[in-house]
Amino acid sequence: MSSRGRPLSWEFKKRADETLVIFEGQVDEVADFSSLGALSGNVTFDLAGIRRFNSEGVRRWINFVRSLDAVTTLVLARCSLAVVTQLNMIKGFQGKGKVSSFYAPYVCVTTGETEDRLLVVEDISDPLNPPVFEGDEGDLELDDIAERYFAFLKTND
């Protein structure tokens, strides 16, 4: 493994009515999505393992999701912080996909300890007032500006 991080890889899990693709690593200039071009039907991408994108990786990702013509529904699940950053910065990053869940950075108001929390899109009624969680030492609050971090939800309809 290079100092740059783990190269992109994925594994498939076929379910009765969908294909789950679990991604790991970084999306960069060596990411090759060509073997995923045959995806069809209902597809869910588990993106929790995506750690980083570089500019060429973003371009490759966008071209890839735009090419998924045979995919009926595309769900982006467990989006990592790196994925959420791109969703917020790059128009069309998700293609025709809809985000179902994503990680958000939280901080304990008492200790300053941080952790990423998995949030489900349908559970967020007001993105300007994100959920607060009870931690062992105190409340956990979003460690970002809610309006900025949840901006991608406006285009997730």
Burial tier of 41 (Cβ tally within 10 Å: 0-12, 13-18, 19+) = exposed
What are the beta bridge partners of residue 13?
Answer: 20
Residues 6+ apart with CB under 8 A from 67: 33, 37
Task: Identify the pLDDT of residue 157.
Answer: 65
Q: Kindly report, residue by residue over 86-100, the tens digit of the pLDDT.
A: 999 999 999 999 999
The mean per-residue pLDDT over the stretch 60-65 comes to 96
Q: Domain-by-domain residue ranges, the chain?
A: 9-155
The torsion region of residue 118 among left (phi > 0), alpha (psi -120 to 50) and beta comes to beta
What is the pLDDT of the chain when averaged over all its residues? Answer: 93
- 9-155 adopts what CATH topology? Transcription Regulator spoIIAA (3.30.750)
DSSP 8-state code for residue 69: T
pLDDT digits (tens, 9 = 90+) for 74-132: 999 999 999 999 999 999 999 999 999 999 999 999 999 999 999 999 999 898 999 99
Q: Give the residues across from 11 on adjacent strands.
A: 22
Tokens of 95: 């293609």
